[in-house]
Structure 1
Amino acid sequence: MKTKIYRFTTLLLISFIVFSCASEEKTVPLSAENKILSFSITKGDVSKQFDVLEGSVTGKVASDFELNDIKISVSIPKGATISPDPSIIKSITGPFNLTVTAENGDKKAYEISIKRELGVDNFILESSINTQYFVTSPKIDGETGMITKRLPEFIDLKNLSIDLKYSKYATITPDPKTVKDYSSPVSFTVKSESGVEKVYQVKVEHMNINKFESCTEANATKWFGGDDRTDAPDTLPYDRNVGTGQAIVLSKDLVPSVFSIHLKEGFYYFKANTEYNKPVVIKLIIRDENQKTIGYTTTTVSGQFKGGFIPFDLKGLNLFLEAGKTYSFYWYLVDGTSLGITASSSGNTKSGSGFCFSTGYSGQSKVSKNNTLEDSSVWYKHDWHFNIQLEGKE
């Protein structure tokens, strides 16, 4: 009987303890924490942390910190939730609200007001002039606000299209797209996003200063034209045509009017050693630094020509050669292969610097190889600098 009473007492005690523990667990209060602990925005590799105030998060980012394609990171207490989910917000266009709900259901709203600082830049960054013949970039002087360019006389300054690229968020007046007459200077005002203004003046003039370059020093000559020899090594008679070329680099922009080449003597048959004494035609090809043909022309050489400079008239080509860029001139005897006559290109084997000492070229075509001197692949760099003259206007 005592044993039964003991077991009953023990069972009652255990039940009391379990009941007490269960009661204690049920009475643990839920958290009332519903604060934003930290707030940051990341764009690319840049992150910015913002101070969290009572019921708001405010602040500014730099003018170049775009508030789109961003990642918002918000830290809240354990057990709390936030709505809407900050991770789905990719851009900020104005104030918005975030609500933090505590574990016990208490809610707290935060107004998020993040702004980008107004830009202060008011610069013209790039400028380009678009003509039917070429596109070129004027010089921009950020100190004086002057934008200047000299253009060929065949360009109408009263009907000109000039593009101006300016600072982001800035505005410009007048709108460059509405301005066509640049026969006199035109002023543009660039206003930053914050309201600071800067005045630029576009001044375009015609190129009217005469320019002449001459490379006359010669100590060597190179084969030019066809070949009538029957005993030449690796060459059949009336099979090849040899051309000459010369690259130039200008210190200032130039509109070329005349380009001249130099041959030591008139054309003759090398094998027979007799003069040709008839007119011939020489073709000139002009290519830019990418070896794109930008112009070509021909000139007729008199049968009485006995040597000297041979001019090519370039005025009708409307060429505009820019300073600092490389232009290559190639010339060859038209029908040189079938004519079989030759002359000598004058050149200089010395080294030097300046206009006369850019890369020389030579080219050779062959009927047996089914190519011509119109093919850029038959031209190669030559160690000499060939005698040329160039006239035009700067």
Structure 2
Amino acid sequence: MRFVLERVDTATRARAGRLETPHGTVETPMFMPVGTVGSVKTLGPRELRQDIGAQIILGNTYHLYLRPGLEVLRQAGGLHRFMGWDGPILTDSGGYQVFSLAPLRKLSDEGVVFQSHLDGSRHLFTPENVIDFQRIIGADIMMVLDECPPADVSLEAARRAHELTLRWAARSQQRFSATEPLYGYPQALFGIVQGGVFPALRRASAQALVEMDFPGYAIGGLSVGEPAEVMYEMVEIVTELLPLDRPRYLMGVGTPANLLENIARGIDLFDCVLPTRNGRNGMLFTTEGILNIRNRKWQMDFSPIDPGLEGYVSQTFTKAYLRHLFQAGEILGLQIATLQNLSFYLWLMRAARQAILENRYQSWMNEVLPRISQRL
């Protein structure tokens, strides 16, 4: 993996770059559609690649480990071949899902024993075997195992989680160095900055991980219930310390406003289930604002879903037709809404990148943010 920093906006910390991976180049800043179990819900690889121009997607180690299971993925030749996606894939370590989904779990320095949310069976994730799992999955970019505490955790609990995450990061890095990729192409391993909402812990975490010299850095444990301004403060603290020549990934974020504000603070990569999940519930993100397609006001609106986007879905289907599909419970409605929302997110990233390259990110963000955030 190679990261090329092309431009830094002079009025902000916004960055435009190119992340070169074995399965293609990602132009940053970039949003990664979430394909938790090897599928971006309602969409296939052709829609992702050809219809909306997705450059990289995210998979989840916890979910893929449980289903379809590692042996299936190994026999298939890795996740790329299994799901028919030829672009880059990033996998998170599964740590967040262990702490958010597992009904019972027991944490120790060795790792975490947890019960599957599917059938209650018991499993052990360690820093070492999570690297092995991601070798089998075959992701271009892998994550270390981390402990992700909730937003309201105490300082002492956040310190324990931070220290454990650093020990796990070192062990993950050692296992990564001691093993080889399985499918003939190199993989990269990112460290994850933790520390809750405590500035001193965030600084200590970032500094320690930088000393370990990872090829890229993720920021975890944010967008978990803390106010947006606190998230932005933590991101600013961390990005001040991370190397300029390494990619930065803010995990699990977020709304369009969150993305633009964090791009201004120096973030390169994002992922979030919000555009796909909200789309399936009838909330559409458009260049004109946010709308609930189930509302009666759209019943006789025969204008395109999003006149400001050039994509097939945005221009071909009307708001009235999409509302009809939702009212009728048609699966096509879920697909159209998902395509619209991801189209919008990826358009937003392309427009942000162009503004950075032209050194006008702040003025562009100030102009576009009120418009796309308004409720229609």
Q: TM-score, normalising length from structure 2?
A: 0.18
Q: In proportion to residue count, which structure has more helix? A: 2
Q: Which has the larger radius of gyration?
A: 1
Please give the TM-score of this superposition, normalised by the length of structure 1: 0.17
- More RCO (CA 8 Å, sep 6+): 2
**Higher strand residue share:** 1
